[in-house]
Structure 1
């Protein structure tokens, strides 16, 4: 199809696309789950919030699996290093996600309010923990991860611990992740719900969109002036041979791509403008426009992280020369060709099917409390 370097960039784009689709779909599911204990003051209001995402939450989770599969297929070295080094964090995400399907399916099986409140907390945990952990993980990618390889680049040694991941900057990235997802969930909830739940969701959207702008700007300032970034040498050996990497660290290195490719500034601008649009549209009660703005927040934030890191995927703070990049951690050209063919065929099919499902759901209009009270045994 194309030369190896081009296919490596296409692989990077495929992984980025799966992460964006995960944030756009499962993102608002998680946002609603995080808001659930606070936005509903009684059982009917909470059931209304749950059933706004009820028809689609399980299908949207597939994008998380797809993202993990794409990383495994395209960057096997990154997959092995990340899942070994961040093992406890990955298990924390996995264990918390266990609560999501059982929470949805068992919450309304008994009329006991204590029973239902307990599952509401479980759904909150299943939504809150993965989103914050993923944000903290991205923060640690920007900081660099404490790993290195042996002399033949075969055996990895991870020298950090779970608690070392919780640095102030990484936690700030966790706050950015939390705010962008809650903004997205509140935008969807204010669009798809009616009554007092919609009003509370609109208030939550405005609050978390403002917090997102503050946290996103603070993270950007730290990246530009405080957090040491990584730069890759330009020699052929450094680019293609992981044992000959020429990597240096210096403050401000993560913004060098924006100097080299000014068009990349579109990414952070999209994040900021999306948040502002969501707030203004919510104030004007333009709910679909507010949701479009929150989608811009998701896309802009993920693209900003990707553009800043490129071509690095997982920099090493222990030995920068052992950093994993798009060039030295990709699978073979043959595999990249097959993966690209599958992506070109399947992503449009999934997109068309997803659009069909959502179109059917959205045609029924927004959900009201009366709908929940009328169909007690058919809703979650």
Structure 2
């Protein structure tokens, strides 16, 4: 089975060379647009490509306003600031996530609460969220959600669309509305994914995208804040540009801000990548279909999109029948120069976050011991 998997992946990618997990594809106007930026000398945070990239993502996701940032962590940090998260607050998120989610909270002076994921989506489970709040929180006289044991406010909930698979947003939104909590979507991995026809990152009050080198399209490093309203988006743009009040020559900043704006150089790359997004999405869906067919009838379960949503299949994943089978798959493929990776170490097992509040994490623990990501780079010939 495992040797045939290596052969299958090599045949799909038509190479005997090393196969990475997810490599960027530069087959469009990347060099042209980046060269245009260099020739213009506007390589920093001012330039036409920044505005153009924001406009294209805004139109594609149909969000109120999209604000480009230097990376996905900066986008999430900005979204959390916009959501009102403050020093001392709690924010509920999932332990099965990339560490950037928790790092953003840590550097804000906030603390994560870990709640289990759903096996439907591998993202935050609304049933587990409701159960945790019923047992550990209450609403005060002002309608604020308070962590009963510590008296701290639970300000926001941050689900992540794991590997591009949409979480159960309607159910999560209902829980958040009941408890007076802001929903912020960590959509770093889900550009091109939809929940009941609506793009991920646009259903919560704020969302955050990533354009890191391993994402479905890349700006080298970059992110985007998705805001429901144009007014909120204008404020997000303001605070990410050092909160500088526009003036021909005076420097006046009317509130604390961040130097988080995406450089024009990166946005130029993003614009060229965005022109190929539909081809990338089509290719990745075909790759996922081929993986699903390969694993059908085996003891390995290929992870498919939930019935209520459409995934971009950013990183394909398979659930192994046991931890031993996971270790064997990782060893055989990587020894054959086919990159596969286990899912991230769960956040509550990291030294920085081992003592934070958490609920029962049975699904997260089970998935951590079994999930393996498979090579998922787009193959344009398929599209």
More strand by share: 2
Normalising by structure 2, we get a TM-score of 0.28
Q: Which has the higher helix share?
A: 1
